Structure 1
Amino acid sequence: MKTKKKLSSVLQCSSRSKRLLLLGSIDVGPQHKLALRFLLFHGS
């Protein structure tokens, strides 16, 4: 839960990541969350 909250605030900072925020709000599983984090930290 803590990680999800953190992700949301990080995503909100970037207008390019609004799509990812939508994806992040859908709980599809840990694999997807890892992919999101990877995209965030390695430049989406």
Structure 2
Amino acid sequence: MGSRDHLFKVLVVGDAAVGKTSLVQRYSQDSFSKHYKSTVGGAL
């Protein structure tokens, strides 16, 4: 059987500076940075 790629949309919510971006990058790009850079804004 052939492999299939899946596409998911995920909404991550939480307080400021708790690691939301780090969590998403870890699982989507398999990378983690110890250097923190604040994410600027977001709109729904």
Q: Normalised by the size of structure 1, how large is the TM-score?
A: 0.34
Give the helix-richer structure, 1 or 2.
1
Which one has a bigger Cα radius of gyration?
Answer: 2
Instruction: Tell which has more relative contact order, 1 or 2 (C-alpha 8 A, sep 6+).
Output: 1
State TM-score, norm by structure 2.
0.34
